[in-house]
Amino acid sequence: MSETLSPQAESDGDHQPRLLLIDDSKVMRKSALKMLGSDFDVVVAEDGQQGLAMIQEDPSIHVVFTDLNMPKMNGYQLLEAIRTAQDEGIRNLPVIVVTGAENDDEAKEKALQHGATDFITKPFNSTDLKARAHAHANYQRTTKTLQQVASVDALTGLGNERSFLDHLEKDLSFVARHHNSIALMLIEVDHFNDLFLKIGRRGADSLIQQIARILLKNVRKEDCVGRMGLAQFAVSLPTADAAGAEGLAQRICHGVSGLKAKLRGEALAISVSVGLHVPAQAHPERAGDCLQQTREALQQAVAAGGNQVVALLEAGGPAAPGMVDVTDFSLDQLLSTLARDGAEAVSDQIPLALQRLLPLWQALSPEQRDALRSQLDGA
């Protein structure tokens, strides 16, 4: 249960920046309410888990103050969850870490690696606390205002999601008028959260920037590249045919896997999954449907293990090697083709088949899975 402000402070909260303090110490929570309640709309949480839920549910929170040592979810885990959130507003929240005598320089460095914005050390006075809170709240207000009108992703210089969707509608309209094809691509960094934990926020940001450069290097001038989320990019390829788009996707995979990264002398594997979709008919009103099909292709690439391309083709679209017809897929037909023509003839459809069979595998008991593995080993 979280403490509340006085009725007067609550009524004024609509006009004050909202500040979240997360600390398992009741004394600290009450002190923050007393020090900041006149200037801010203060809400509090007892641990990182409760604090994260409040952040996810309340977009009006401007600044977060958090302790490091807490039950359920500590400050490092909270920072990781915030900095790897898909929501850009959450991802960019200022997070000030409250440190005490038990937190040494190594702990602060670890918090910084996880994305801490600033630090304040206990015991602190109301003047210092208010100064930090005002500085970061004002910055966040300005940032949110700019984000509402911005069309460029600040980290990569690519178009952001809003900009990409606008461009996609124009591309679909253009190819529809000229009776041309179009291909859509979604690219996602594999196991990005694990990488974030290993290389920290600065390393993760650098990785995203390098992948953005690989995309720009490989696409044509008429293509559009956008950043759609934390570790996800989109590419619109007007006039591209299926074969050309898949070739580009494979080059992107190869380019990313060639990135060199090390942590304490150990090489890190970096790869991307690519979902590719070629609609049979292009129309600007179909932008949402086309992206959804592309997203499904990406999900299948991720589910199949990553570092690969899954391409879905609508019935009636231009066929190409490696393209799976999403509207006419049959496991029975796949097995028939396998028996008749061999494994090579169906290799491109295996990721989709595994995706369709995944719910069945998940429904099996551990004993049933072991029995099936034994059967496969003996086959």
- Domain of 267: which CATH number? 3.30.70.270
pLDDT score of 145 more than 70: no
Select from 253, 248, 254, 251 the least CA-distant residue to 235.
248
Last residue of a domain, which of 119, 149, 179? 149
**Pair (311, 249) in one structural domain:** yes
Last residue of a domain, which of 96, 125, 149? 149
Specify the DSSP element, H or E, that contains 28.
helix 26-36
Give the dihedral sign, CA 294/181/284/153. positive
Decide if 348 is inside a domain. no
**Pair (232, 291) in one structural domain:** yes
Q: For all residues of the chain together, what is the average pLDDT?
A: 81
Decide if 379 is inside a domain. no
Distance separating alpha carbons of residues 5 and 289, to the nearest angstrom: 46
Q: Which of 9-18, 152-161, 170-179, 297-306 has the lowest mean pLDDT?
A: 9-18
Beta carbons of 279 and 294 less than 8 angstroms apart:
no
pLDDT score of 135 more than 90: no
**Pair (195, 105) in one structural domain:** no
pLDDT at residue 326 in the model:
42
**Ordered alpha helix ranges (H), 150-236:** 161-177, 192-218
pLDDT score of 107 more than 80: yes
**Pair (313, 175) in one structural domain:** yes
**Pair (109, 232) in one structural domain:** no
Residue 86: other Cβ atoms inside 10 A: 11
- Side chain identity at 110, as an amino acid letter? K
Q: Helices (H) and strands (E) in the chain — how many of each?
A: 14, 13
**Pair (225, 311) in one structural domain:** yes
**Pair (281, 184) in one structural domain:** yes
Beta carbons of 225 and 235 less than 8 angstroms apart:
yes
DSSP reduced 3-state for 354 = helix
pLDDT digits over 213-228, tens only?
Answer: 999 999 999 999 999 9
Token match 């996810």: residue?
56
**Pair (133, 165) in one structural domain:** no
Select from 201, 216, 1 the least CA-distant residue to 112.
201
**Pair (284, 141) in one structural domain:** no
pLDDT at residue 256 in the model:
92
Decide if 337 is inside a domain. no
Contacts with 228 (C-beta within 8 Å, 6 or more apart), sequence order: 161, 164, 186, 234
**Buried b or exposed e, range 29-46, using 16+ CB within 10 angstroms:** bebbbebbbebbbbbbbb
Give the burial class of 114: count Cβ atoms within 10 A of its Cβ; 0-12 exposed, 13-18 middle, 19 or more buried.
buried
pLDDT score of 263 more than 90: no
- The predicted model scores a pTM of 0.62
CA atoms within 13 A on the CB side of 184: 33
**Pair (129, 169) in one structural domain:** no
CA 4 from chain centre, in angstroms, equals 33
pLDDT score of 330 more than 50: yes
**Ordered alpha helix ranges (H), 227-324:** 242-257, 287-303
Decide if 155 is inside a domain. no
Report, in angstroms and rounded to the nearest whole number, the Rg of the chain calculated over CA atoms: 25
Decide if 361 is inside a domain. no
Q: Which residue has the higher pLDDT, 344 or 327?
A: 344
Q: Which residue has the higher pLDDT, 43 or 86?
A: 43
Number of domains in the chain: 2
CA angle 355, 305, 328 (to 5 degrees): 30
Q: Which residues pair with 225 in a beta bridge?
A: 235
**Pair (46, 118) in one structural domain:** yes
Last residue of a domain, which of 128, 149, 170? 149
Domain encompassing residue 209:
161-328
For residue 317, what are its two tokens?
Answer: 């679209």
Pairing between β-strand 232-238 and β-strand 224-229 as defined by DSSP bridges: antiparallel
For residue 320, name the pLDDT band (cuts at 50, 70, 90). very low
Decide if 171 is inside a domain. yes
At 169, give phi and psi (nearest 5°). -60, -40
For residue 279, what are its two tokens?
Answer: 């609609």
Decide if 170 is inside a domain. yes
CATH code assigned at 39: 3.40.50.2300
**Pair (19, 130) in one structural domain:** yes
Specify the DSSP element, H or E, that contains 224.
strand 224-229
DSSP reduced 3-state for 235 = strand
N-terminal to C-terminal alpha carbon distance within the chain? 58
CA angle 27, 28, 31 (to 5 degrees): 85
Beta carbons of 42 and 32 less than 8 angstroms apart:
yes
Select from 171, 323, 315 the least CA-distant residue to 250.
323
Decide if 375 is inside a domain. no
For residue 186, what are its two tokens?
Answer: 């979604």
